[in-house]
Amino acid sequence: MRGFTPRQRWILALMATAVVAVFSLFGYVVVTTTRQMATLSPLPSPQGPSAPVASPTAPATAQPSPSPSPTVIPTPTRVVPLSQIQSARAVHEVARILARVRDLPPVEQFPVSFPSEREIALYLLQRYGEIRPQEALTLYGLLGLIPRLDAPPLPDVTAQAARVFSLYAPAGRQILLVAGRGPATPDDELALVHTLAHALQDNAFGLGPDAEPPRVPLVSACRPTTDAALALRALLEGDAVLTAARYAGVASDPQEVDRLAGLAAGAEEPTYAPLASAVAFEAVRLFPYREGARFAAALYADGGWDAVNRAYAAPPCSTQEILHPERYRARRPALEPAIPDLTPVLGKGWSRARQDTVGEFLVGLHLAAYLDDDERARRAADGWAGDTFTLWTNETGREVIVWRLAWESREEAVEFERAYALLVPRFRNPPLIATSPPLGLKGQFWSGPAGAAYLFRTGRVVTVIWGPDIETVSTVVPALP
């Protein structure tokens, strides 16, 4: 205090007294609030809406303790209603337990936001504007899985937001918990568990844009095809569904696992009003969750969570690997049958509009939609070893599809060829009629007012061509190797 006047010393003493008083009052408020919150239950457990969070069924290497230790609650940066404080506390408590179930490092700190349903719809609209899931609808339409649409519709974000209880936002690594929904139900808790599983994945494997240190995106491990995108989503979603099933103690109940998969797909997958009754499209929406959960369960059965974790370093790049985990373990890359540039053959005004890989799952759906025999369609798609699907269009809107599919054996190629020969007449309306090969060409030809088609097998490769007329198709056939 040397160098201060008596008045200054008096002012400093008064300020020190005020600071002590303020911190004493703040400490009293914190203690009082903590005591109040200690009497509040977290989100309801799967056993009942009034029960505390149950200890989940965890793997032998990661058993949760029967008496969870208190979770440190970060000080809110603004005044938050007690119900939101309670919800944030419950989210962090479930996340702590879930990290043990999944045997991954816990996420020490992550923000929990409470957007309204309308704000969730706006968030979904912005996200879909970035990743554009509707672009896959074009391929589904070309395969006859959904009606052909003049332009891909926007996802129905309003309907989806009404089904959402919680979401994980990779940008910012935050949990979105929809405000104003009332008391949480057991299914809401399991939806939150699925959401938190994505946070654990991102934290452990650096999947999101905010990974520290920056890592190579998982999607870049595979070629950018529709088939690979479905396979990668199946790894992420299947892992999350299995995690939720083990948390709830129902991992050994296939029906309950399928139910959890359906709940997650309903909240996370976009829907489109024109496709509300498209059965095949619903199968596509469910694939990453149901088949992905079976894939993750197969890995888990072989080597526990370590085996699932290793899949993030060497992810599945085809739906065949998801449907047949033993083929994923063999790690045989899919073949890419060659299709040359057909622009010189088709002529001026034609250009390639799409090149893609369809994959075993969509091949099976394509066959099942027109064969009226799901088992035969499944068998015919089994044995897929790779495919190249190209779409060529011209200025008047005419289309040519050239699709080459490789098979693991000659017998499987023959089985697909026979099944596809049954599909061809039914794929167009009015139906196409078999016709003699023109100009001495080999293979099977069909034609009619709705267009023309060609089917031919060479060893283990089957070639399919769809065109506007028999002349165009006949022009393309000799140009293929």
What DSSP element (H or E) covers 168?
A: strand 166-169
Q: How far apart are CA 479 and CA 456, in angstroms?
A: 14
Task: Flag whether pLDDT at 419 surpasses 50.
Answer: yes
Task: Flag whether pLDDT at 74 surpasses 50.
Answer: no
pLDDT, mean of residues 336-361: 96
Structure tokens at 372: 């009226």
Of 26, 103, 88, whose CA–CA distance to 58 is shortest? Answer: 103
State how far the alpha carbon of 437 is from the alpha carbons of 101, 257, 322, 403, 464, in Å: 62, 51, 39, 19, 14
- Count the Cβ atoms, other than its own, within 10 Å of residue 80: 14
Task: Flag whether pLDDT at 263 surpasses 80.
Answer: yes
pLDDT value of residue 439: 84
- In the chain, the domains with their CATH numbers are 112-330 (no CATH), 343-479 (3.40.1000.70)
DSSP states along 314-361: S---SHHHHH-HHHHHHTPPPP-------HHHH-TT-EEEEEE--HHH
Mean pLDDT of the chain: 85
Q: How far apart are CA 195 and CA 177, in angstroms?
A: 10
% of the chain surpassing 90 pLDDT: 73
% of the chain surpassing 70 pLDDT: 80
pLDDT value of residue 217: 67
Q: How far apart are CA 224 and CA 416, in angstroms?
A: 25
pLDDT value of residue 219: 67
Residue with tokens 């060659």: 338
C-beta of residue 345 within 8 angstroms of C-beta of residue 352:
no
pLDDT digits (tens, 9 = 90+) for 166-189: 999 998 899 999 998 777 899 999
Task: Flag whether pLDDT at 129 surpasses 50.
Answer: yes
Query: Which pairing describes strands 112-113 and 174-177: parallel, antiparallel, or unpaired?
Result: parallel
Task: Flag whether pLDDT at 11 surpasses 80.
Answer: no
Structure tokens at 466: 């769809």
Instruction: Tell me the whole-structure pTM to 2 decimals.
Output: 0.82
pLDDT value of residue 68: 42
Burial of 202 (0-12, 13-18, 19+ CB in 10 A): buried
Q: How far apart are CA 111 and CA 88, in angstroms?
A: 9
Among the residue ranges 11-15, 208-212, 307-311, the one predicted with the least confidence is 11-15
In three state form, how does the secondary structure of 413-445 look?
A: HHHHHHHHHHHHHHHCCCCCEEECCHHHCCCEE
pLDDT, mean of residues 39-46: 36
Q: How far apart are CA 277 and CA 268, in angstroms?
A: 19
pLDDT, mean of residues 129-143: 95
- Count the Cβ atoms, other than its own, within 10 Å of residue 59: 15
Residue with the bigger pLDDT between 280 and 213: it is 280
Of 81, 76, 100, whose CA–CA distance to 243 is shortest? Answer: 100
Rg, Å, the chain Cα set: 29
pLDDT digits (tens, 9 = 90+) for 349-401: 999 999 999 999 999 999 999 998 999 999 999 999 999 999 999 999 999 99
Task: Flag whether pLDDT at 430 surpasses 80.
Answer: yes
C-beta of residue 433 within 8 angstroms of C-beta of residue 407:
no
List the helix and strand counts (H, then E) for the chain: 16, 10
Of 162, 134, 158, whose CA–CA distance to 146 is shortest? Answer: 134
pLDDT value of residue 86: 80
Burial of 77 (0-12, 13-18, 19+ CB in 10 A): exposed
C-beta of residue 340 within 8 angstroms of C-beta of residue 480:
yes
Q: How far apart are CA 170 and CA 209, in angstroms?
A: 7
Give long-range contacts, CB 8 A cutoff, 24+ apart: 145-149.
145/278, 145/280, 145/281, 145/284, 145/362, 145/365, 145/366, 145/369, 146/275, 146/278, 146/280, 146/281, 147/274, 147/275, 147/278, 149/274
pLDDT digits (tens, 9 = 90+) for 25-38: 333 333 333 333 33
pLDDT, mean of residues 320-334: 94
- Indicate the pLDDT class of residue 120, thresholds 50, 70 and 90: very high
- Indicate the pLDDT class of residue 18, thresholds 50, 70 and 90: very low
pLDDT value of residue 50: 31
Task: Flag whether pLDDT at 156 surpasses 80.
Answer: yes
- Angle, vertex CA 181, rays to CA 287 and CA 174, nearest 5: 65
pLDDT value of residue 372: 87
Task: Flag whether pLDDT at 348 surpasses 80.
Answer: yes
pLDDT value of residue 421: 98
pLDDT value of residue 37: 30
Task: Flag whether pLDDT at 275 surpasses 60.
Answer: yes
pLDDT value of residue 284: 98
pLDDT value of residue 226: 97
pLDDT digits (tens, 9 = 90+) for 207-227: 866 555 555 567 678 999 999
Coil vs helix vs strand at 22? helix
- Indicate the pLDDT class of residue 85, thresholds 50, 70 and 90: confident
